[in-house]
């Protein structure tokens, strides 16, 4: 497993990890503080959204608690032209793509099917159907390849595509079909699997008899396992995979070995299927604490700056609460507005029928 930062915050680069150390050598103390700030803000988003769901303001919410390093580290390695296909827990990646995290909550409030402009951030809408977006990502990557945006040698032109998913998705047919297409077409796509140990209540050990990163072997796709609680290693491994994809080297399967410290969603009770001891052992490997310890050991921790980060997190929390509580339900007719890019006969007929149906409730006969 590739690791560059131990749980105690010490730099390491032993064995197979050594070549990856060069890929983070340019990250100075300012850059490391930036990664820390990213993770703190994403966790605050998680905490606030969970609280809003408990208060009845959201219908559901999936936390990424504990997975911040895997997401922020890999997300910061992306180039502006790269395109991301997330599942529904990639809040940290969304943050690195410049998305206002409040927009994610439109979907979980139930007032929108997505809530953001995918083209503005090269970050696709969340996908709730487990694993289906791996095919979308592969198809998009094949299109990028055919558009001549791979292997040109121009760093501002060459493009990679990333599909983020969890360990449970590897048991889905769609992901395996995506691996087949990606391998046979040499598509510029990175399959970034966050192995958080639990597919709802099913442990990874019951899903696979081999480490997940070895799944790529059977398809002819190189695989690598990275410490997903190590933000530096996550950055380095993604940087290598993206470089391979953009240069025409084809797909990579990355397994980020991490842990879902929260529930699967706010409707889940993890105490029914895992132990407190297990949770505590992973909390001792908290990705944010790990980077903080490293900054302290390097003499790069500044208390004044830390207080500014905390104030920024408080401001984010206030923004989220204000934003969500101001949301109003859209008219039911809006469901027909963006089904297709242009007008479609079937949708037009359905819109007219629905308008007539709703109008029927306003007649005096129905009122009586």
Active site residues: 260, 264, 273
3-state SS class at 195: strand
Tally helices (H) and strands (E) across the chain: 15, 7
E-only strand ranges, the chain: 83-85, 161-166, 189-195, 198-199, 202-203, 223-227, 252-257
Question: Could you tell me which of 80, 235, 67 has the C-alpha nearest to residue 165?
Answer: 67
What's the CA gap between 201 and 270, in Å, rounded? 7
And the tokens for 235? 């950055």
Q: What's the angle, vertex CA 194, arms to CA 190 and CA 195, rounded to 5? A: 130
Other CB atoms within a 10 A radius of the CB of residue 266 amount to: 18
Question: Could you tell me which of 23, 1, 83, 38 has the C-alpha nearest to residue 235?
Answer: 23
């Amino acid at each position: 497993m590739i690791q560059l930062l131990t749980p105690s915050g010490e730099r390491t680069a032993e064995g197979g990890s050594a070549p990856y150390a060069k890929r983070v050598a340019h990250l100075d103390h300012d850059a490391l503080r930036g990664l820390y700030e990213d993770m703190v803000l994403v966790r605050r988003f998680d905490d606030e959204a969970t609280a809003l769901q408990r208060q009845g303001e959201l219908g559901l919410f999936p936390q990424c608690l504990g997975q911040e390093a895997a997401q922020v580290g890999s997300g910061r390695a992306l180039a502006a032209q790269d395109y991301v296909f997330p599942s529904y827990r990639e809040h940290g990646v969304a943050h690195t793509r410049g998305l206002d995290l409040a927009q994610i909550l439109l979907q979980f409030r139930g007032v929108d099917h997505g809530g953001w402009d995918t083209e503005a951030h090269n970050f696709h809408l969340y996908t709730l159907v487990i694993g289906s977006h791996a095919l979308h990502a592969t198809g998009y990557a094949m299109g990028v390849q055919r558009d001549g945006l791979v292997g040109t040698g121009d760093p501002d032109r060459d493009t990679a595509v990333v599909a983020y998913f969890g360990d449970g998705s590897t048991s889905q047919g769609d992901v395996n079909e995506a691996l087949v297409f990606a391998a046979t077409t040499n598509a510029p796509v990175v399959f970034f699997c966050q192995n958080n140990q639990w597919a709802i209540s099913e442990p990874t050990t019951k899903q696979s008899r081999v480490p997940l990163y070895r799944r790529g072997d059977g398809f002819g796709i190189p695989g690598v396992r990275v410490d997903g609680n190590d933000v530096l290693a996550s950055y380095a491994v993604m940087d290598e995979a993206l470089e391979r994809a953009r240069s025409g080297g084809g797909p990579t399967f990355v397994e980020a070995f991490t842990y879902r410290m929260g529930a699967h969603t706010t409707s889940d009770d993890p105490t029914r299927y895992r132990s407190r001891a297990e949770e505590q052992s992973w909390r001792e490997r908290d990705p944010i604490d790990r980077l903080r310890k490293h900054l302290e050991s390097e003499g790069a921790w500044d208390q004044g700056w830390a207080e500014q980060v905390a104030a920024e997190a408080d401001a984010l929390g206030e923004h989220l609460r204000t934003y969500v509580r101001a949301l109003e339900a859209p008219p039911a007719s809006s469901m027909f507005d963006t089904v297709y890019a242009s007008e479609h006969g079937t949708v037009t007929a359905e819109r007219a029928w629905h308008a007539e149906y709703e109008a029927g409730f306003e007649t005096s006969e129905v009122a009586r």
